[in-house]
A = this chain, B = another copy of it.
Amino acid sequence: MSAFRILAGDTASSARQGTLKTPHAEIETPCFLPVGTRGSVKGLEFDRLEEWDCRAVLANTYHLMVRPGIETIRRAGGLHAFIGWSRAILTDSGGFQVMSLASRRVLSEEGVEFRAPEDGTAHFLTPERAMELQSGFGVDIAMALDVCPPFPAEREEVERACRLSQSWAERSRRAYCGPGLLFGILQGGTHEDLRSRAAGPLAALDLPGYAIGGVAVGESKQAIRRVTAFSAGLLPSEKPRYLMGIGTPADLLESVRAGCDLFDCVLPTRNGRMGHAYTRAGEVTIKHERFKEDLTPLDPACRCPVCRRHSRAYLRNLFVLKDFSAPMLLSIHNVYFYLDWMRTIRAAIGAGTLDKLQAPPEEKV
């Protein structure tokens, strides 16, 4: 029996509503996973996420393997026990962070050697090692090790990334021993032919889910949306599709319409810490002078604990004065807003009204 069940589909788009059963949660899709890089969703208590019926978070294999390391996590009884979260966890494979963060990186057929900039320690990440880590963590959704080419990149580099990603997906599949679901990752940059060519052999591995990788690495928003829609169409429709690292509320709606089911993004927490709040009317940059006397909440229709209590004027004052609570409060609002937005999207698919749903504008308020 498949872990993924599609319960409703949209007639006007490729959107679908469903559930994904993992060892620790039944995830309602489309679903946004708050990012908990080192096992904390920055600025939020897990109690809040539970209260808001958040069923899954993302953590980064790369960060966790460098510190505290797999041994500490194993001794704690796995990642759930170590971080104190008993619902689902998805970990990326570490491939993306190695490419974007690590120094003295050497890529070979075997894997990728690198030094962690945090402490200079040497690591060798192979598909087998990535699986050993994620199995040791005991996560609900593990990701195959892939190679994510930068943007822009020579076509040859993207071709090599596709070839290695396929070979590593096969090795990941052989090496992974649970307890979660292993997802493969489709690469190919902005080249539709390369993505098409990569999708077949990847789908043939019959993994429980597939991710669209290598998007939002520097290309235009138009390119991101085009590649996302094109890639989603290449992946098996009966499997959950996970769009990695994206995006704004409008991006999420657009990608749901393209047929994507799972999402993660640092925007709500990172932007919250920087003073940007998502609202139904657009983005509020709280430091702006024009909010100085604004006694309305960030979003008058929002039911989050911040909007229920605090005005823009209050939050602006805290932010201008660099009060520690300010980035925390905006992060709380933003994550609530994202989870609520996904709930709205799911309900619209179920009710057959997704075509009428309008995303918040991406402009500033």
A82 at the interface (CB under 8 A from B): yes
Given contact pairs A41-B325, A325-B43, A67 touches B311 in the complex (Cβ within 8 A): no
A273 at the interface (CB under 8 A from B): yes
How often does this chain occur in the complex, in copies?
2
Q: Are A82 and B313 in contact (CB under 8 A)?
A: yes
Q: How far is the CA of A98 from the CA of B283 in the complex (A)?
A: 38
Contact of A83 among B39, B72, B84, B314 (CB under 8 A): B314
Query: Which size bracket describes the interface of A in this complex?
Result: 35 or more
Q: Are B309 and A84 in contact (CB under 8 A)?
A: yes
User: For the complex, would chain A's binding face be called helix, strand, loop or mixed by DSSP majority?
Assistant: loop
Q: Are A324 and B42 in contact (CB under 8 A)?
A: yes
- Closest B residue by C-beta to A64: B317
- Closest B residue by C-beta to A328: B328
A194 at the interface (CB under 8 A from B): no
Against B, the Cβ 8 Å flags (1 = close, 0 = not) of A31-50 are: 00000011111111111000
- Closest B residue by C-beta to A318: B40
Q: How far is the CA of A84 from the CA of B311 in the complex (A)?
A: 8
Question: Hey, which chain B residues are within 8 Å of A317, CB to CB?
Answer: 38-39, 67-68, 72
Q: Are A324 and B325 in contact (CB under 8 A)?
A: no
A87 at the interface (CB under 8 A from B): no
A310-365 residues at the B interface, CB under 8 angstroms: 310-311, 313-314, 317-318, 320-321, 323-329, 331-332
Q: Are A305 and B47 in contact (CB under 8 A)?
A: yes
Q: Are B311 and A76 in contact (CB under 8 A)?
A: yes
A residues engaging B (CB < 8 A)?
Answer: 37-47, 67-68, 72, 75-76, 82-85, 118, 273, 292-293, 295, 305, 309-311, 313-314, 317-318, 320-321, 323-329, 331-332
